[in-house]
Structure 1
């Protein structure tokens, strides 16, 4: 499946940015590892018009907020989504440690909000239903995604254009071995340090502990984790599940006994490799539910 188009998120002025000598890097060592993102964008992969379901998924690759596993947890999944008739849109978001970013913890949320709005602005051109646009995130990208799902109405202090007037709330979330909490008991310390710094305030820790930020309008969620994940403890998904359940938000969770962290499609890991079937079923059920409610 060929990539259709790449669009800059901010064609005019990138908010919360400053000039620096930094240059984006892309290294291939098993997978495409992207660091020091300077110009955030979306890479758009569209299914054939005849098979399009109307759904679209913005994908936030993981990388501990230090880089992006761009194909391993990004473009490979966009192509897989296309095979299900779903548009896959890979988000290249700015990283909080970049010298080109003024306030580190604000940049990923600004970029993912903009990505959702930009996709909705192109819905007619891409055979997408504006009410069927979701977010998918892996590891630290799962934190980006769950931050969007709980902070989508956060108002950024920058000059807005017509795209920024559109709704940034995702219609659904798929969180794959996600970082959710900043609570030191269960957080991924590398992601926390990269996003919030070494000594963040209690307010900042609470604000980005997304299990504490669930609201009645947080979208339906799919959660996937392995019990033996030693990088991002399974409690991240468990806590988020409990928070969603407490607010009566539809949530489906799959916990596998083994798989570790960062397993992507889980190929070569026994029956874990069929986890994408669970996600495909869930996405199809969501789509059918939407069609019934029209």
Structure 2
């Protein structure tokens, strides 16, 4: 007897087959306990015909522990999954896609991936940390290579909902620093596909229920730009049109989901005016938004303990998420 197969089951099955067909992952450091990693593209990532860089994982700081790693020259984009049950928590039927920062030169997978995933898995969320390609490594898509990975990752998180037992319509996207720029690019612009669909997973909409931009890079022009991120993304001499085109306080879509913002006022790397500009743009479009500006914390505070960083932000986000159905 042939059993009926619904569309989501078909998509999940296609994804599983693609994952099995993907190349083995090089692993510099062992994954922390409870985490599971898999590539997001079947075979090689698109547009890599002229890519010659070698992917490398190193410690974020000399004193870092092995699970505080960063990746540079990413060749194999991945998602790293942490389930609530793996931290002894009860699932709440929702998921979060985490996009770590790193100035578009590296990806801080430990500090803004594993650590954040543990915090929100304890609150019941199935968490996925994205390792994405970097724009200056020779990919055909150039600046849009990270966006291709982010779109593919969000579609995968949606496609895996039946298998992982959460609601595909209850998925949040959270990005940090340059990862905040990528998260805003993914969620605040009209969802125009950045790559040619390759399988059933790509039938999933590029859609999230809520978004969070934590000390985000937003502007690519003006006095408050993070020049490092802009140079990596657009090169040393971008045109005014290119800078404005990737300033994410411009062209905010009316379909943007509710947005949570958090920034420290003493951030010297990415000035808080980036979050304020995004807040103004969201308000102008009538998008539900909440913005927290902390007295101190600097840049990249993540979950660092006080007084160095404003640790209440995860609780503030959870309250916001619950109010908006996540």
TM-score range, shorter-chain basis?
over 0.9
Q: SS in structure 1 opposite 2:105?
A: coil
CA shift at 1:85, angstroms? 0.2
2:164 is matched with which residue?
A: 126
For 1:191-206, list aligned pairs within 5 A. 191-206=229-244
Are 1:59 and 1:90, in contact at CA under 8 Å, matched by a contact in 2?
yes
Runs of 5+ consecutive residues of structure 2 not aligned to the other structure: 1-31
Question: How high is the TM-score relative to the length of structure 2?
Answer: 0.83
TM-score by length of 1: 0.92
Unaligned residue ranges in structure 1 (runs of 5+): none
Gap change, CA 1:12 and 1:237, over 3 Å in 2: same
Deviates most, 23-32 or 265-274? 265-274
* 8 A Cα contact 2:297 2:309, kept in partner: no
Matched residue pairs, number? 287
- Structure 1 match to 2:146: 108
| Alpha-carbon offset, residue 270 of structure 1 | 6.2
2:88 maps to 1:36: no
Question: In the alignment, is the contact (CA less than 8 A) between 2:44 and 2:76 conserved in 1?
Answer: no
Q: Quote the Cα distance in structure 2 between the aligned partners of 1:157 and 1:51.
A: 36
* 1:88 aligned residue (108, 119, 127): 127
Runs of 4+ in 1 over 4 A off after TM superposition: none
Give how far 1:271 is off: 7.4
Question: Residues 203 and 3 (structure 1 numbering): CA distance in 2 closer, same or farther, change over 3 Å?
Answer: farther
Larger Rg, first or second structure (1 or 2) = 2
Superposed CA RMSD: 1.8
2:54 equivalent to 1:23: yes
- 1:8 — aligned with what? 39
> Which residue is 2:209 aligned to?
171
Q: Residue 253 of structure 2 corresponds to which residue in structure 1?
A: 215
- The alpha-carbon distance between structure 1 residues 27 and 51, as it changes in their structure 2 partners (threshold 3 A), is same
Distance 1:274 1:83, change over 3 A: same
What's the offset of the Cα at 1:283? 1.9
Counterpart of 1:63 (choices 96, 102, 111) is 102
Offset of 1:147 from its aligned partner? Answer: 0.4
Per-residue deviation at 1:176?
0.6
Equivalence for 2:20: none
Alignment of structure 1 residues 255-274 onto 2, 5 Å: 255-269=293-307, 272-274=310-312
Post-superposition offset of 1:285: 2.1
Q: d(CA) in 2 for partners of 1:275 and 1:158?
A: 37
